[in-house]
Chain A
Amino acid sequence: MVPLPLSRILYIEDEEDIQVVTKIALETVGGFTLLVCGSGAEALKEAPEFRPQLILLDVMMPGMDGPTTLKSLRTLPGLDKTPVVFMTAKVHPSEISNFKQMGALEVIAKPFDPMKLAEKIRDIWNATHG
Chain B
Amino acid sequence: MANPEAIREQLNALRQAYAEQLPGKIREIEEGWRRLDHGPWDPKEFLVFHRQVHGLAGSGATFGFPAVSEKARALDDLLKTLPGDKGPPRPEIVTRIFEGLGGLKEAAGASPVVAAILPPPPTTGRDDHLVFLVARDHALTESLTAQLGHFGYAVRAFADAASLGEAIDRERPGALIADLPAPPQDREVLEGVTELQKIPGRRMPVVFTASRDDLATRFAAVRAGGSGYFPRPVDISSLIDQLELLMSHYSLEPYRILIVDDEEPTAERFKAVVEEAGMAARVVTDPRQISGPLVEFRPDLILMDIYMPGCNGLELAAVIRQQEAFVGIPIVFLSSETDIGRQLGALRLGGDDFLTKPIAEDRLVASLTARAQRARVLRSFMVRDSLTGVLNHSRLKAQLQIEVARSRRQGRRLAYAMIDIDKFKEVNDRHGHPTGDRVILSLSRLLQNRLRKTDIIGRYGGDEFAVILPDADGPTALKVLAEICDGFSHIRHVSERGEFSATFSGGVAILTEAGDAGSLNEAADRALYEAKNQGRNRVVLAP
- Measured between beta carbons, the chain B residues less than 8 angstroms from A96 are none
Q: Separation in Å of the B456 CB from the closest CB of chain A?
A: 17
- Measured between beta carbons, the chain B residues less than 8 angstroms from A102 are none
- A5 in contact with B521 (CB, 8 Å): yes
- B10 in contact with A28 (CB, 8 Å): yes
Interface 9-residue window, one of B57-65, B223-231, B317-325, B336-344: B57-65
| A interface: dominant SS | loop
Interface string of A55-67 (1 = CB under 8 A from B): 0000011100000
Q: What is the bound-complex CA distance between A5 and B528, given in angstroms? A: 16
- Measured between beta carbons, the chain A residues less than 8 angstroms from B220 are none
Residue A42 at the chain B interface, CB threshold 8 Å: no
- Measured between beta carbons, the chain A residues less than 8 angstroms from B60 are 111
Residue B115 at the chain A interface, CB threshold 8 Å: yes
User: Please, how many residues of chain A have a CB less than 8 angstroms from a CB on the other chain?
Assistant: 33
- A18 in contact with B54 (CB, 8 Å): no
From A5, which residue of chain B is reached at the shortest CB distance? B518
- B14 in contact with A24 (CB, 8 Å): yes
Residue B91 at the chain A interface, CB threshold 8 Å: no
- B2 in contact with A29 (CB, 8 Å): yes
Central interface residue in A1, A7, A18, A62, by most chain B CB within 10 Å? A1
- B11 in contact with A21 (CB, 8 Å): yes
- Measured between beta carbons, the chain B residues less than 8 angstroms from A5 are 518, 521-522
Residue A48 at the chain B interface, CB threshold 8 Å: no
Are A115 and B57 CB-contacts (below 8 A) given A2-B460, A21-B14, A29-B1?
Answer: no
Within 8 A of B (CB), among A26-61: 28-31, 60-61
- Of the candidates A17, A87, A89, A90, which one forms a contact with B14 in the assembled complex, judged by CB atoms under 8 Å apart? A17
Within 8 A of A (CB), among B383-401: 393
Central interface residue in A29, A89, A116, A123, by most chain B CB within 10 Å? A89
Central interface residue in A2, A4, A30, A112, by most chain B CB within 10 Å? A2
- B17 in contact with A17 (CB, 8 Å): yes
- Of the candidates A15, A21, A30, A113, which one forms a contact with B55 in the assembled complex, judged by CB atoms under 8 Å apart? A15
- A110 in contact with B57 (CB, 8 Å): yes
- Measured between beta carbons, the chain B residues less than 8 angstroms from A89 are 54-55, 57-58, 69, 72-73, 76
Q: What is the bound-complex CA distance between A43 and B480, given in angstroms? A: 42
Central interface residue in B7, B17, B55, B73, by most chain A CB within 10 Å? B55
- A60 in contact with B63 (CB, 8 Å): no
From B21, which residue of chain A is reached at the shortest CB distance? A17
Residue A83 at the chain B interface, CB threshold 8 Å: no
Q: What is the bound-complex CA distance between A112 and B1, given in angstroms? A: 19
Interface string of B31-64 (1 = CB under 8 A from A): 0000000000000000010010011011111110
Q: What is the bound-complex CA distance between A29 and B14, given in angstroms? A: 15
From B525, which residue of chain A is reached at the shortest CB distance? A4
For the complex with contacts A87-B58, A111-B66, 8 further pairs of A-B residues with Cβ separation under 8 Å are: A5-B518, A17-B21, A21-B14, A28-B7, A28-B10, A29-B119, A88-B58, A113-B62
A-side interface residues toward B, CB under 8 Å?
Answer: 1-2, 4-5, 7, 15, 17-18, 20-21, 24, 28-31, 60-62, 87-90, 110-116, 123, 126-127, 130
B-side interface residues toward A, CB under 8 Å?
Answer: 1-2, 6-7, 10-11, 14, 17-18, 21, 48, 51, 54-55, 57-63, 66, 69, 72-73, 76, 80, 115, 117-119, 292, 295-297, 393, 420, 460-461, 464, 518-519, 521-522, 525, 528-529
Q: List 11 A-B pairs, Cβ < 8 Å.
A: A7-B522, A18-B58, A28-B2, A30-B1, A61-B51, A89-B54, A110-B62, A111-B57, A111-B62, A123-B296, A130-B296
